[in-house]
Amino acid sequence: MRIFKLTLFAILFVSFSYPVFAQLTHIDHVTVVKEFIEKIKNNDRQSIAAQVIYPFRRDYPVKRIKNEAEFVARFDEVFDQNLKNIILKSSPRRDWSQVGWRGIMLNQGDLWIDEAGDLISVNYETSKTKSLKKTLIERDKGWLFEPLRNYEFPVYQIKTKTHIIRIDEMKGGVYRYSSWKNGRKMSEKPDLLIEKGEKIIEGTAGSTRYVFKNDGHEFEINFEVEEEGIDAILTITKDEETLSEQNAVFLNY
């Protein structure tokens, strides 16, 4: 098992804006893909779980998978029969591509492995995952402060040393920032609410940050964090002067 602090979104930015990527020609890469396909064919859950980069990202609010035992238990949530068939019918040289330092992807990013064959991410969504997401979102809206329940999708909840913060995607592709002082509940009115924030994706790696502006202040949440134990950084500025910078960790993820 390999444990690695994966830079969020770097692998998951799947679009046609990629730099040129090439079909597999290197024999070692072809071999790695063939070995992965064979494990899927044999339904070798334990062997696959031993070659996953943890924590294994799931689409929020579905929780990340933290270790091998949990991956085995949730295997069917990640791989349904349809995805297995896509993998089994794939040709290593035709359907898998090397995308620079990002790794090796199936089709347009349904699945990613690295050059050692370790599973980085699965962007295909099974019906089991869709159902779980729906249940979790309904549960979230059931206890959240009522005027905040009108979001389209929850993005993340994070906690700094002073506040609990949630980001929600709203209609029209804009984002909302809500925060509560530590000790307060999200079922209560937030201490700060900022509408019409934006999501900024930069570079070919898909570096992602969220920016919110309020009363001359700019609140930026950056998920491009390499340091162990830190999932995001909240930076508050005014007139380009940094007023506060706090580390944050995920809540319920």
Cis peptide bond prior to 55, omega within 30° of 0: yes
Question: What predicted TM-score, i.e. pTM, was given to this entire model?
Answer: 0.84
| pLDDT at residue 237 greater than cutoff 50 | yes
- The alpha carbon of 92 is separated from its chain's Cα centroid by a whole number of angstroms, namely 26
- Rounded to 5 degrees, φ, ψ at 60 are -55, 140
Which tokens belong to 60? 């929020």
Contact 102, 114 (CB under 8 A): no
Mean of the pLDDT values across residues 1-24? 46
| pLDDT at residue 194 greater than cutoff 50 | yes
pLDDT at 8: 36
Neighbours of 171 (CB within 10 A): 8
Give the Cα separation of 253 and 251 in Å (integer).
5
Neighbours of 196 (CB within 10 A): 13
Q: Enumerate the domain spans of the chain.
A: 2-127, 144-250
Q: pLDDT digit string (tens) for 133-167?
A: 999 999 999 999 999 999 999 999 999 999 999 99
